[in-house]
Amino acid sequence: MASHFSAVIRLNVTSFLAVGLICFHVISAFKSPLLSRRGVVSNPETRTNLINYKTYYFEQKIDHFGFIEDATFKQRYLVADQHRHKDGSPILFYTGNEGDITWFCNNTGFMWDVAEELGAMLVFAEHRYYGESLPFGDQSYSDPKYLNYLTSEQALADFAVLIEELKKTVPGAQQSPVIALGGSYGGMLAAWLRMKYPHVVVGALASSAPIWQFPGLVPCGVFYKIVTDDFSKSGSGCSESIRRSWKAIDNVTSTEEGLQWLSSEFRLCTPLKNKEDAMAVKSWLQETWVNLAMVDYPYEANFLQPLPAWPIKVVCQYLKDPSLPDTALLQGIFQAVNVYYNHTGNTQCLNTSQTATGNLGYIGWYYQACTEMVMPMCSDGVNDMFEAQMWDFQAFSDECYGQFGVRPRADWAITVYGGKNISSHSNIIFSNGGLDPWSGGGVTQKISGSLVVIMIPEGAHHLDLRYNNAYDPQSVLNARDLEVQYMKKWIKEAADSKSPSNHLP
Amino acid sequence: MASHFSAVIRLNVTSFLAVGLICFHVISAFKSPLLSRRGVVSNPETRTNLINYKTYYFEQKIDHFGFIEDATFKQRYLVADQHRHKDGSPILFYTGNEGDITWFCNNTGFMWDVAEELGAMLVFAEHRYYGESLPFGDQSYSDPKYLNYLTSEQALADFAVLIEELKKTVPGAQQSPVIALGGSYGGMLAAWLRMKYPHVVVGALASSAPIWQFPGLVPCGVFYKIVTDDFSKSGSGCSESIRRSWKAIDNVTSTEEGLQWLSSEFRLCTPLKNKEDAMAVKSWLQETWVNLAMVDYPYEANFLQPLPAWPIKVVCQYLKDPSLPDTALLQGIFQAVNVYYNHTGNTQCLNTSQTATGNLGYIGWYYQACTEMVMPMCSDGVNDMFEAQMWDFQAFSDECYGQFGVRPRADWAITVYGGKNISSHSNIIFSNGGLDPWSGGGVTQKISGSLVVIMIPEGAHHLDLRYNNAYDPQSVLNARDLEVQYMKKWIKEAADSKSPSNHLP
């Protein structure tokens, strides 16, 4: 069974769906002049000092939903309580997603920006199977049987149990209202935590959370359509050039000579040897464009490599003329991806097997996509700039079975989390960026009075969760203000209602 | 591991906690003149004709919360659609509890009584591991490893998946609002189904559902206190006689002669041989008194054996003088239990290893109590008529470990279902009978506008779910009227709001 895992990374690159998967999260640490609207700090060096937390580990049951497996593992969580000055003050609880929690902690500046104003304790809880929170230690990914407890339901139960424990054991926290926050998959978890455990969290901020990117809820093409729109809007001829590039690659790499030429022009670390390698280059390019759409932030930011402000605009400067001959067009494509991979000019060669940070757990997320997180994606090459590719559930299911010995359950996420029928829930903010491809599967239309939708037209992937920045568009400043207002409202309502004790005197 | 099971039945009898467990459900099919308030039928023979359903089986995943175990089992469910006359009409869905679903179907007359008025389709879904719905067939109880999927969460998921399937496949049901109904543990499931899957059911009627009978939520003595009150109210000297009987049994059975005397006086099928057997008799008596409290219905009813109307009053006729000498007192006790076990006069001898119907799954429920359903009970012999017995979690845990190789998780049910913090939920009716010992752990005080509490002072265990009867007290008639009003309200609200489709056109 262990051999199931041998080809994962490779598949992640070549699999169509993995494009969506691998790119689910690309948050960058920014480096740019800062303006704090809440008067805290004004430059990134000070910000680093701000991020001051203690690391703890909590003994979680490996299986919350069965009792034969009674062992525990150490779930990591980070606590910053320097802004908490009285009993019953709120707790902002980051529902960790598919990666190292310290990385999310460092990249969720919003929580640090508002901690003082809310007098809040910050908690960042790591998601099981990511970072250091490995249920079976080094063995966790060694065999599919150990992955059986990697589900969103188990993760939500971890969060609920941990919050209950904190309220019991942290002095003065017993009456503290807890608000869940998260971005991307973490935002989905924040929303779901409020839906499934409303007695544990009084509300949730779900930023860029595509809870509707499930079968039948939104058209499968919406994701790549938005990516394409971002490029179309960022420069004349831009998306058309990319749309044409796929055929150009096919043409050029149809000969041995062409493979060599492309390897050289693209400064690839590993030269292309055959048609399959050329296909891998196309997947890598596709992921790169997707990543750019997600991190199309209005200021210089530091992702894996530093990126300029509005990176897609910079990219599009090299993609103005789709009518160029193949080789000239591809030379422009190289210049364009070079913006993403070599903004500093220090990159020696381009490595097509990596497109995003090592802080994310790709295999873990791949397993989740192969089980519950079935998020159909497709492209048609007409409404988007990518090669046409249908959503083929059966092929995907077979790939998952080959990889992990499990098959995805297409309907389960909708059955368990409600799909579009979420109106009976309350106190959830769904914020979405208009530039973010994941907004296509997000909640972008008002559902009810206390399910709030906030749109940030100029925002990429969960821009609102990042630190305030001098170059932030007004829409994200307004969004953060509104988010704080709602959080204050929930906190006040919780104080007014006083939940009954679950413990006899 | 299989040997774990060998002593279960015996332990159920001798274990203190099992008293509560084994008696959780004692619903009887009545036999008495009937008055239908909704003009349907007037005698039990006609009623039997009314119960006209078809039996189906649905392929359920054995494990909804993990993907390695991908096998399915056949979940049984019963459907009566003779009252459903148009598309979109409601579905009343009985969330089966710890027993054979046909038995619950036959004993939930309320649903049959209201089906025509609501134009509703009735569905009775069997709980996994009970009746015919055995995930591993005959092996299901052969080894604790097979019991790993016996949890309330899995059962709720079964119900949610089944409802989604029915709405997809039954013509005209796509827009049908579904209301969950259940009594006792089934009532807990109905409430929890609405809490966890509000997109699947628009509301729930949770009758006699002790969702607060968990650690720290209510005093552990409340259950036996209510049993005692029932006996105190039913005859002078009654509860005092029972309180004195324990010591009388100890005294009498301290000699070989006394053991023989008691065996003969009580007409026991198996004569007592030693002190342990005498203790088992005490447990059996205790369970009998509890059972009587649960089925203290106002009309003649047929449980395992037929019972007279208000059976505790009849019992108490034999327990008027607590000051009698031990042997005379115990002769009265025998007359009293004889009311329960031999109302017809046909019983040859009394069998102390059985106190309730064979339609319940005792081992399954015992496993559930040993895992999630940790319901503390205690007695002190002062506020109740039983021998003092502390709630000893550790001893219970050890017993469970010996029996099934699992340990109960005392806090889990509260973490997952919210304990007393349920105010953010909606559309749940909690009905409780004042005579029912389980009302001590029920929701008997108003929580919020749409969490409705209905008290039936003269009601025993989920009297409201039974057929209308000429001898019903006014309080249960009012309760049923109110329940129907709320169900109509939910149905109307669902029709007005029109839930969004989870399927693209």
CA distance A20 to B250: 73
pLDDT band for B357, please (50, 70, 90 cuts). confident
In whole angstroms, how far apart are CA B429 and each of B118, B120, B204? 17, 19, 6
The answer, yes or no, to whether residue A501 has pLDDT greater than 90, is no
Closest chain B C-alpha to A345 CA, distance in angstroms: 46
Q: What is the layout of strands, in order, in the sheet containing A203-207? A: A54-61, A72-80, A121-125, A91-95, A178-183, A203-207, A428-433, A451-456
- Residue A415: enclosing H or E segment and its boundaries? helix A412-417
CA distance B453 to B276: 44
B503/A216 CB distance under 8 A: yes
B421/A502 CB distance under 8 A: yes
Asked if B261 and B252 count as a contact pair (C-beta separation under 8 A), the reply is yes
Task: Tell me the residue range of the domain where B344 lies.
Answer: 219-409
B501/A149 CB distance under 8 A: no
pLDDT at A418: 97
Nearest to B121 by CA among B87, B88, B90, B155: B90
The answer, yes or no, to whether residue B41 has pLDDT greater than 70, is no
The answer to the question of residue A152 being in a domain is yes
CA distance B76 to B172: 22
pLDDT digits (tens, 9 = 90+) for B114-169: 999 999 999 999 999 999 999 999 999 999 999 999 999 999 999 999 999 999 99
B145/A68 CB distance under 8 A: yes
Within this chain, do residues B392 and B424 fall inside the same structural domain, yes or no?
no
Within this chain, do residues A242 and A382 fall inside the same structural domain, yes or no?
yes
CA distance A240 to A54: 49
Range B453-481 average pLDDT:
97
The yes-or-no answer on residue A461 being catalytic is yes
A416/B149 CB distance under 8 A: no
A422/B68 CB distance under 8 A: no
Closest chain B C-alpha to A310 CA, distance in angstroms: 34
Q: Which of A298-302, B358-362, B375-379 has the highest mean pLDDT?
A: B375-379
Nearest to B424 among A147, A164, A198 (CB): A198
Asked if B20 and B287 count as a contact pair (C-beta separation under 8 A), the reply is no
Closest chain A C-alpha to B59 CA, distance in angstroms: 14
pLDDT digits (tens, 9 = 90+) for A325-366: 999 999 999 999 999 999 888 889 999 987 777 788 899 999
CATH number at residue B287: 1.20.120.980
The answer, yes or no, to whether residue A111 has pLDDT greater than 90, is yes
Average pLDDT, chain B: 89
The answer, yes or no, to whether residue B23 has pLDDT greater than 90, is no
Query: What's the start-to-end Cα distance of chain A, in Å?
Result: 52
pLDDT at A48: 53
CA distance B431 to B439: 9
The answer, yes or no, to whether residue B474 has pLDDT greater than 80, is yes
Give the distance from CA B318 to its chain's centroid. 28
Q: At B121, is the secondary structure helix, strand, or coil?
A: strand
Catalytic residue among A140, A152, A184, A245: A184
The answer, yes or no, to whether residue A304 has pLDDT greater than 90, is no
The answer, yes or no, to whether residue A44 has pLDDT greater than 60, is no
The first and second tokens of residue A29, run together, are 């640490």
Q: What is the phi-psi region of residue B328: left when phi exceeds 0, alpha when psi lies from -120 to 50, beta otherwise?
A: alpha
The answer to the question of residue A31 being in a domain is no
Nearest to A237 by CA among A358, A333, A155, A125: A333
CA distance B380 to B394: 19
Nearest to A296 by CA among A438, A416, A436: A436
Within this chain, do residues A258 and A404 fall inside the same structural domain, yes or no?
yes
Percent of chain A with pLDDT over 90: 83
Within this chain, do residues A381 and A491 fall inside the same structural domain, yes or no?
no
Range B215-238 average pLDDT:
98
Within this chain, do residues A253 and A118 fall inside the same structural domain, yes or no?
no
Asked if A24 and A213 count as a contact pair (C-beta separation under 8 A), the reply is no
pLDDT at A13: 26
pLDDT band for A419, please (50, 70, 90 cuts). very high
Domain stop point among B409, B443, B463? B409
pLDDT at B46: 47
pLDDT band for B504, please (50, 70, 90 cuts). confident
Lowest mean pLDDT among A207-221, A337-351, B13-27, B475-489: B13-27
Asked if B305 and B28 count as a contact pair (C-beta separation under 8 A), the reply is no
Nearest to B145 by CA among B90, B198, B92, B69: B69
The answer, yes or no, to whether residue B329 has pLDDT greater than 90, is yes
Contacts of residue B166 in chain A, CB cutoff 8 Å?
none
In whole angstroms, how far apart are CA A1 and each of A5, A140, A150, A395, B89? 8, 13, 17, 20, 50
The answer, yes or no, to whether residue A144 has pLDDT greater than 60, is yes
The answer, yes or no, to whether residue B29 has pLDDT greater than 90, is no
Within this chain, do residues A197 and A140 fall inside the same structural domain, yes or no?
yes
Nearest to B65 among A61, A153, A199 (CB): A153
The answer to the question of residue A181 being in a domain is yes
Strand duo B301-302 + A29-30: pairing: unpaired
Range A90-101 average pLDDT:
97
Q: Which of B61, B149, B424, B498 to mutate to test the interface with A (most CBs of A within 10 A)?
A: B424
pLDDT band for A11, please (50, 70, 90 cuts). very low
B504/A64 CB distance under 8 A: no
B502/A425 CB distance under 8 A: no
In whole angstroms, how far apart are CA B218 and each of A110, A161, B211? 41, 21, 10
The first and second tokens of residue A198, run together, are 């409303």
Within this chain, do residues B197 and B244 fall inside the same structural domain, yes or no?
no
The answer to the question of residue B5 being in a domain is no
Asked if B83 and B120 count as a contact pair (C-beta separation under 8 A), the reply is yes
Q: Which of A502, A503, A504 to mutate to test the interface with B (most CBs of B within 10 A)?
A: A502
Nearest to B198 among A414, A424, A499 (CB): A424
Q: Which residues pair with A91 in a beta bridge?
A: A121, A178
Average pLDDT, chain A: 89
Domain stop point among B384, B409, B434? B409
Closest chain A C-alpha to B71 CA, distance in angstroms: 11
pLDDT at A502: 80
Contacts of residue A497 in chain B, CB cutoff 8 Å?
423
Contacts of residue A502 in chain B, CB cutoff 8 Å?
216-217, 414, 419-421
Nearest to B160 among A149, A415, A504 (CB): A415
B68/A144 CB distance under 8 A: yes
- The DSSP call for residue B149 is G
Asked if B185 and B25 count as a contact pair (C-beta separation under 8 A), the reply is yes
- Residue A59: enclosing H or E segment and its boundaries? strand A54-61
pLDDT at A43: 45
**Which residue does chain A place closest to B371, by CA atoms?**
A67
pLDDT at A34: 31
Residue for token pair 């004790």: A501
pLDDT digits (tens, 9 = 90+) for B370-422: 999 999 999 999 999 999 999 999 999 999 999 999 999 999 999 999 999 99
DSSP letters of A203-262?
EEEEET--TT-STTTS-TTHHHHHHHHHHHHHSTTHHHHHHHHHHHHHHHTTSHHHHHHH
Within this chain, do residues B295 and B358 fall inside the same structural domain, yes or no?
yes
The answer to the question of residue A398 being in a domain is yes
pLDDT at A303: 55
Q: Considering its fold, how many domains does chain B have in total?
A: 2
Range A308-317 average pLDDT:
97
pLDDT band for A301, please (50, 70, 90 cuts). confident
CA distance B64 to A211: 19
Percent of chain B with pLDDT over 70: 89
Within this chain, do residues A352 and A256 fall inside the same structural domain, yes or no?
yes
pLDDT band for A49, please (50, 70, 90 cuts). low
pLDDT digits (tens, 9 = 90+) for A372-400: 999 999 999 999 999 999 999 999 999 99
pLDDT digits (tens, 9 = 90+) for A439-460: 999 999 988 879 999 999 999 9
Measured on CA atoms in the order B326, B328, B329, B335, is the torsion positive or negative?
A: positive
Within this chain, do residues A477 and A492 fall inside the same structural domain, yes or no?
yes
Percent of chain B with pLDDT over 90: 83
pLDDT band for B303, please (50, 70, 90 cuts). low
pLDDT band for B448, please (50, 70, 90 cuts). confident
The first and second tokens of residue A14, run together, are 């070549």
The answer to the question of residue B86 being in a domain is yes
Domain stop point among A382, A409, A436? A409
Closest chain B C-alpha to A203 CA, distance in angstroms: 11
The answer to the question of residue B152 being in a domain is yes
What number is the ipTM of this complex? 0.91
- Residue A95: enclosing H or E segment and its boundaries? strand A91-95
The answer, yes or no, to whether residue B67 has pLDDT greater than 60, is yes
One-letter amino acid for residue B66 of the chain = G
In whole angstroms, how far apart are CA A214 and each of A59, A415, B500? 33, 11, 15
Within this chain, do residues B313 and B431 fall inside the same structural domain, yes or no?
no
CATH number at residue B425: 3.40.50.1820
pLDDT at B32: 30
Q: Which of A67, A147, A397, A448 to mutate to test the interface with B (most CBs of B within 10 A)?
A: A67
Burial B7-22 (b: 16+ CB within 10 A, else e): ebbeebbbbbbbbbbb
pLDDT band for B501, please (50, 70, 90 cuts). confident
Within this chain, do residues A346 and A265 fall inside the same structural domain, yes or no?
yes
The answer to the question of residue B20 being in a domain is no
Q: What is the phi-psi region of residue A345: left when phi exceeds 0, alpha when psi lies from -120 to 50, beta otherwise?
A: left
The answer, yes or no, to whether residue B3 has pLDDT greater than 70, is no
Range A225-239 average pLDDT:
98
pLDDT band for B37, please (50, 70, 90 cuts). very low
Nearest to B151 among A65, A197, A200 (CB): A65
